[in-house]
């Protein structure tokens, strides 16, 4: 595991502030938004559709504290772009949006350094104020939208959005999700694509390396991964980039690539300040999580006896809830992962609590992989890996 201290040169202008929202392209935006509200504790925030004058796309925006997800679907049968995206990838993340300062400058720099600009900067205006946007291409079919507020913005969400059409009375009766902000968003790449993608973030967005691990550190009996985490200068946006490594059997990274039809967002980590209450509540709401074996906690108790840190939370409770612990000499983190949130074994979510620990759970990757491998086996996908099966058809990238 490597932690990087060199942030590189401070950009002379322009700034990436934080994640603004995540946009999902799905077959049925209304139902997808309801699932995340019911299971995860989000609430309807804003709506754009036929009733607001949007004739081609419908968008349901939902929010929990600082986390905003948008679910978008096509309204008309002739929408080939969205239809083809769904056929290839299934429901999943289309766009990761960043709130920025000086959108024009960031786009100009990215373009000079070789980024593909999907949509040059444009401004949208409503009674609440003005917002400038731009869209650039990242890995696979995923994009990044830059969002810049042009002065104070008093609108509900973004121009074009109105109040939700309906607020489900059931939501107020359910226990709160206790999720606060997006901690990081992970992108899976085919083998040998991790370094070029992380280099792209460093070159085009002026991000820097924050953390990395290789397959000598992260492997099970069957499978392995490599990962590089890139971040903006202020280190408020973390983007881990993963790729599979050769093992005896197909890794969960490769399974993702196969079912997603190439690279894409593998998981979104949501930060909480009270993971125990969050997971008690999310389980009560019907959320499914991966399960670590009891032997993991037996081993953890032994290791913690000689550790320089003390875990404040009750280990018996963590074991009952199947929450994982990773630590170093200065602090620790607690984390748990959902099962895939759609039928394809692609996107899932993570809940994470940090106590002076800035890693990504490297000490838990083995346990996580083993839990995923159990599910992979049940899906008939923990198959023997050959160099040929590691490859992705060229059409996918």
Q: Taking CA 288 as the corner, what is the angle to CA 301 and CA 276, rounded to the nearest 5 degrees?
A: 45
Per the CB < 8 A criterion, the answer to whether 267 and 240 are in contact is: no
**Binding site: what residues are annotated?**
184, 267, 350
Burial code of 47-60, b = ≥16 C-beta within 10 A, e = fewer? bbbeebebeebbbb
Beta carbons within 10 angstroms of residue 324's beta carbon: 23
Residue the block writes with tokens 């003390």 = 310
| CB-count burial class (<10 Å; 0-12, 13-18, 19+) for 43 | middle
How many Å apart are CA 183 and CA 112, to the nearest integer? 29
Per the CB < 8 A criterion, the answer to whether 181 and 269 are in contact is: no
Cα–Cα nearest to 264, from 350, 390, 141: 141
How many Å apart are CA 125 and CA 158, to the nearest integer? 9
Per the CB < 8 A criterion, the answer to whether 179 and 271 are in contact is: yes
What is the chain's length?
397
Q: Which two tokens stand for residue 127?
A: 């009674």
Per the CB < 8 A criterion, the answer to whether 242 and 189 are in contact is: yes
Q: Dmax over Cα atoms in the chain, in whole Å?
A: 63
How many Å apart are CA 148 and CA 154, to the nearest integer? 14
**Binding site for Fe cation: what residues are annotated?**
184, 267, 350
Crossing angle of helices 252-260 and 362-378, in 10° steps, is 60
Cα–Cα nearest to 153, from 122, 125, 182: 125
How many Å apart are CA 83 and CA 339, to the nearest integer? 25
Per the CB < 8 A criterion, the answer to whether 336 and 324 are in contact is: yes
Burial code of 223-239, b = ≥16 C-beta within 10 A, e = fewer? bbbbbbbbbbbeebbbb
């Amino acid at each position: 595991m490597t932690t990087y201290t060199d942030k590189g040169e401070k950009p002379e202008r322009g700034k990436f502030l934080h994640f603004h929202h995540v946009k999902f392209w799905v077959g049925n935006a209304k139902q997808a938004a309801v699932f995340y509200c019911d299971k995860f504790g989000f609430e309807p925030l804003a709506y754009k559709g036929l009733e607001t004058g949007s004739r081609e796309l419908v968008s349901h925006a939902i929010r929990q504290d600082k986390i905003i997800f948008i679910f978008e679907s096509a309204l008309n049968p002739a929408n080939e772009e969205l239809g083809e995206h769904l056929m290839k990838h299934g429901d999943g993340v289309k766009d990761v949006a960043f709130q920025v300062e000086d959108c024009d400058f960031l786009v100009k720099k990215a373009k000079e350094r070789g980024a593909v600009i999907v949509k040059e900067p444009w401004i949208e205006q409503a009674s609440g104020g003005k917002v400038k946007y731009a869209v650039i291409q990242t890995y696979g079919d995923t994009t990044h939208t830059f969002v810049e507020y042009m002065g104070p913005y008093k609108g509900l969400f973004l121009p074009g959005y109105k109040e939700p059409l309906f607020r489900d009375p059931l939501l107020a009766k359910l226990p709160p999700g206790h999720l606060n902000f997006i901690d990081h968003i992970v992108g899976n790449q085919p083998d040998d694509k991790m370094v070029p993608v992380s280099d792209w973030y460093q070159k085009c967005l002026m991000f820097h390396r924050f953390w990395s691990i290789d397959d000598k550190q992260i492997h099970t009996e069957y499978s392995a991964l490599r990962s590089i985490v890139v971040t903006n200068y202020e280190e408020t946006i973390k983007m881990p980039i993963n790729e599979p490594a050769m093992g005896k059997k197909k890794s969960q990274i490769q399974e993702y690539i196969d079912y997603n039809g190439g690279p894409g967002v593998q998981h979104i980590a949501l930060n909480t300040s009270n993971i125990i209450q969050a997971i008690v509540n999310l389980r009560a709401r019907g959320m499914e999580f991966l399960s670590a074996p009891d032997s993991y906690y037996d081993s953890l108790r032994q290791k913690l006896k000689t550790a320089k840190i003390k875990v404040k939370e009750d280990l018996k409770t963590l074991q009952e809830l199947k929450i994982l612990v990773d630590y170093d000499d200065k602090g620790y983190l607690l984390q748990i992962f959902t099962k895939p949130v759609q039928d394809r074994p692609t996107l899932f979510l993570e809940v994470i609590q940090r106590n002076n620990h800035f890693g990504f759970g490297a000490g838990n990757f083995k346990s996580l992989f083993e839990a995923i491998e159990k599910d992979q086996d049940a899906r008939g996908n923990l198959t023997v890996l050959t160099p040929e099966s590691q490859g992705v058809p060229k059409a996918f990238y």
